[in-house]
Chains A and B, each alone.
Chain A
Amino acid sequence: MTIEATATQAIDLVGLHKRFGEVRAVDGVDIAVPPGSFLVLLGPSGCGKTTILRMLAGLETPTGGEIRLNGTVVADGRRGTLLPPGRRDAGLVFQSYALWPHMTVSGNIEWPLKVRRWSQAARRQRVTEVLELLDIPELGGRYPGEISGGQQQRVAIARTIGPRPSILLFDEPLSNLDAKLRVEMRSELLRIHRATAATSVYVTHDQVEAMTMASHVAVMRRGRIEQFGAPRTLLADPATPFVASFIGTPPANLVPAEVIEGRFRYGGVDLGPAGEIGEPSLLMYRPETLQLVEAEAPGVLRIEFGDATPVAGRDIVTGWFEGNRLTAVVEQQPQASIGDPLYLRFPDRPQAVFAHDADAAAAIAEATASATGSAPE
């Protein structure tokens, strides 16, 4: 990365570390995004994403590395916090919303402006403005305890954007909403991101949110970044088995293949040439590249039918082979009940090949656990 580029980054994390006692919550993270980006920190619970967000906000102090916002070093591992949270020109939307229960909705939005010594007229005008922007002008006089969860969410966002911060931080803001509201708020958040022209950092464990909202995604695991890139890059070209099994709806299949005589084999089925690779490997197949066929044939794997979910005119079919789960997206639902045989045809080549080691197995287990347990926090 050139020096020139660094100076213009809105957010620049260099070798960031955070230790809590013996636990390395954040273990050497480098991220840089330009102004106006929508950066999503994505990962299962405990991966360090919220800790990074809190360090960006100034609520935690890094134990190593450096944080630069708009070119200014705001904290580093040696000197600690150099610029306190209130002076970083950043706003944070809390997971719990953290609305002050003893203040009305207007009071909640107005107080940060008061702290920043805005004049009364300016405060009033801004409160009206953000209430309009969030589409809740009628709620001004209510107390947080008197409004619904979705409305509280809007108030929390209104309060955060009130002082016009140049950086917006979101800590799993949608995790307390029901599925329908979540979809609605996603587009709402994008609208606000555009309206404020701020740089946003958004923490979530929901890869769908990351895929729909982000301009940049950092997939995190155990305090480190697994992959950093645009959503489509992650989907098309995952760098690790963890990313492959975490991203995508449904996520990719990772097939543990052996190498026999220079060719990949799984369950007796030939999966193509192994090239230079001699070790057992994980072969990645996107669910839409797998096909269901009528009967047994060479190059076809016999699996047991698990379940089928209709999605947007197609079906996500899940089956099992020797304890491994395989997912295919098909045009027509198979007429089968649980345990019936199905026949799966693989494409000529896998979309990616990963080394199959102990770490890869653990990574897949973590990614799958996080994806199926929809709301771990």
Chain B
Amino acid sequence: MNSAAPAAATPPGALFWRVRRALRQPVVVIGLGVTFVLGVLAAVPLARLIGDTITADGGSAWSDVLASRLSENLFWSPLVATVAIGLIVGLGSVVLGAGLAWLVVMTDAPGRRLIGFLASLPFVLPSFALALAWESVFRNDLVGGRVGVLWAMGVGVPDWLSWGFVPVCIILIAHYFSLVFLLVAAALASVNADLTEAGEMAGASRGRVALGITLPVVMPAIVAGFLLAFAEGVSNFAVPALLGLPVRFQTLSTRLYGSISTGQTERGFVLAVLLICVAALVLFAASRLTGRGRGYATITGKGGRRRTLALGRWRWPLVAVAAGICLATTIVPAAVLALSSVARRSGQLSGELTLHFWSGASDPSIAQGTEGVLRNPQIIEAGLTTLLLGVAVAALSALLALGIGYVVVRGKGTLLARAVELMSFVPFLIPGIALGAAYIAVFGRPIGPLPALYGTLALLILAGTAATLPFAAQAGRSTMGQVAGDLEEAAVMAGASMPRRMAAIIVPLSLRGLLAGGVLVFVKMVRDLSLVVLLVTPSTTLLSVIAFRYASEGFAQFANAITVVIAAISVGATLLARRLEGAAQPWAEQ
């Protein structure tokens, strides 16, 4: 202590004690760690991507893309197509998803449990599964090669139904409506009968109650569903690549893929930045518009008694429509894929059947001598790599979810918690293929003493973890939100150290949520194409990339067979997760 010092506002040593106090709080320590990891995973790649487009090499790329003879084809018309797809997919998903949710939750429609189950399935399937199934049925002879079932039967399928904008929209809606369904169904289920009955007691008609009470309560879920579907529609790569590229129908993501895969990396980076801007702008604008509505979500948490609407003579027609939608988006495409993978000639499902594409040895007369998928060592290795990638990303995500959830929930209101929350949602704004481009920008060359990660599984794992961060954050937040702070404080009182509290209290209590989140991440990784398509090399090939390549090269049966495998893994993992969830908490069974 310096006695000569004047009466200072901050006595000597005060900073020391403040830092010491801060560092004693687990939230601060974990928060700093998580911030560092999020920075490396999300912020740095994004900054590097933007940085690379404005350095010397990248400078001309901006003008190439935005203002040159090429820009009409390179950017503007793909932009229009992308935004149009996003809007239509968003709207279509809301109409189908919210409609089905209403039918399942609010009415007495027969078989609504089964419909509810089916409506949640399409999201588990990879989006290219639906695209491949579409091709197997509707492909015409426009670009040559194999044709679909209808054409083979002599039905003249018009080009607009076979290729480009219309099928892309239909398939993306069929894939993403289940997202909206899940969100809206959950919101509707939380509308207690008391709420609507209070409206009826006030003298309002049923229609008035539906419009004045039920709709506003579920509106945030509908808007959130629209935004998600829009963002996914904008960033989807597999579907426009399969159904658009052959006829030169381009979206931003296929253009981005094209640029990078043909060596015009800077242009690709510029397109990635623009694609991120489109996604981010729309999400930002929409969240500003709907910011008001957020508050409802918290007060409607109490589910309870529900009263169902009697549909009367509309029952069967509505159920028929709903069942039709569900079957057309799940069972039918799965059956088409499975069948066409055993058809000797693609397009003739009723013709000669063969297991050649699954287990056949190399036969020069079929598919240029390619072996069946179960015999092909390259595919088997890709399968193992895919599983390894999925498990590794799921494990890392679960770990991050724990950290993010802890910081965001326990540190609620602090700057650190807000920073962590914000950063963990950044990847949500970055379409998978653009994130892939960003990872090339960062890890495509050596960083200091570290070698370039490009071409390694580690790069895929890092990118996968980054891409699934928003899911990890969501899972972590909701899971930790359910572990009361008291339970940890009781352990603090017992004298348990931070690691000990984590191991004995926090982890066991959040295991269920983390497990569910982990499986969601696993499924996402196994069926992902857009993120990994730029990052894989022959030494680290994945199932989805091989399926995509086979489909592009015309080997439909192989592609379909692999897709069936991916779908089986996804569905299997989801079912397994449900069983594990039950087994993880014996004390919760009542």
Show the binding face of A for B, using Cβ within 8 Å: 57-59, 61, 78-81, 84-87, 90-92, 94-102, 111-112, 115-116, 143-146, 159-160, 163
Contact = CB atoms under 8 A, between A and B. Distances in A.
Nearest to A102: B508
A171 B310 CA distance: 50
Nearest to B496: A115
A92 B489 CA distance: 9
B509 A102 contact: yes
Contacts of A59: 489, 492-493
Given A78-B17, A145-B590, A98 B496 contact: no
B505 interface: yes
Given A79-B17, A80-B20, A102-B587, A85 B493 contact: yes
B70 interface: no
B288 interface: no
Interface of B: 11, 14, 17, 20-21, 24, 484, 486-487, 489-496, 500, 504-505, 508-509, 585, 587-588, 590
Contact of A96 (B21, B486, B494, B587): B486
Given A80-B24, A111-B504, A112-B495, A98 B490 contact: yes
Nearest to A159: B490
Contacts of A115: 491, 494-496, 500
Contacts of B494: 86, 111-112, 115-116, 163
Of B14, B17, B495, B500, chain A has the most CB atoms within 10 Å of the CB of: B495
B587 A91 contact: no
B489 A98 contact: yes
A90 B493 contact: yes
Contacts, number: 85
Contact of B486 (A87, A98, A116, A159): A98
Nearest to A20: B413
A80 B504 contact: no
A144 B587 CA distance: 8
Given A90-B493, A100-B505, 18 more contacts: A57-B493, A59-B489, A61-B21, A80-B20, A80-B24, A84-B24, A85-B495, A86-B492, A86-B496, A94-B489, A94-B490, A99-B490, A100-B491, A101-B487, A102-B508, A115-B494, A145-B587, A159-B490
A145 B492 contact: no
B17 A80 contact: yes
A94 B486 contact: yes
Nearest to B17: A79
B264 to A, nearest CB: 53
A104 to B, nearest CB: 8
Contacts of A58: 492-493
B493 A92 contact: yes
Interface centre among A57, A58, A81, A86 (most CB of B within 10 A): A86
A8 to B, nearest CB: 25
A57 B495 CA distance: 11
Nearest to A143: B587
Contacts of B489: 57, 59, 92, 94, 98
A101 B21 contact: no
Nearest to B22: A80
Contacts of B491: 100, 111, 115
Q: Which 10 A-B pairs have the closest CB atoms?
A: A86-B495, A112-B494, A98-B486, A80-B21, A98-B490, A143-B587, A115-B496, A102-B508, A94-B486, A92-B493
7 contacts: A78-B17, A86-B494, A92-B493, A98-B486, A99-B490, A111-B494, A159-B490
A213 to B, nearest CB: 22
A81 B492 contact: no
Contact of B588 (A91, A94, A101): A101
Contact of B14 (A78, A84, A86): A78
A85 B488 CA distance: 12
A98 B484 CA distance: 8
Contacts of A96: 484, 486
Contacts of A144: 587
Contacts of B17: 78-80
A130 B120 CA distance: 50
A79 B504 CA distance: 30
B580 to A, nearest CB: 15
A61 B23 CA distance: 13
A87 B509 contact: no
A146 B588 CA distance: 9
Contacts of A116: 494-495
A288 to B, nearest CB: 42
A90 B494 CA distance: 9
A91 B489 CA distance: 11
Contacts of B508: 102
Contacts of A92: 489-490, 493
Contacts of B493: 57-59, 85-86, 90-92, 112, 160
Nearest to A104: B587
Contact of B587 (A85, A90, A101, A160): A101
B503 to A, nearest CB: 11
A145 B486 CA distance: 16
A101 B589 CA distance: 11
A292 B150 CA distance: 99
B15 to A, nearest CB: 12
A262 B490 CA distance: 59
B487 A100 contact: yes
B191 to A, nearest CB: 28
Contacts of A159: 490
A26 B298 CA distance: 30
A77 to B, nearest CB: 10
Q: Which of A92, A100, A112 has the most CB of B within 10 A?
A: A100
Given A78-B17, A116-B495, A145-B590, A102 B585 contact: yes
Contacts of B505: 100
Contacts of A90: 493
B169 to A, nearest CB: 47
Q: Which of B21, B491, B494 lies at the interface centre, i.e. has the most chain A CB atoms within 10 A of its CB?
A: B494
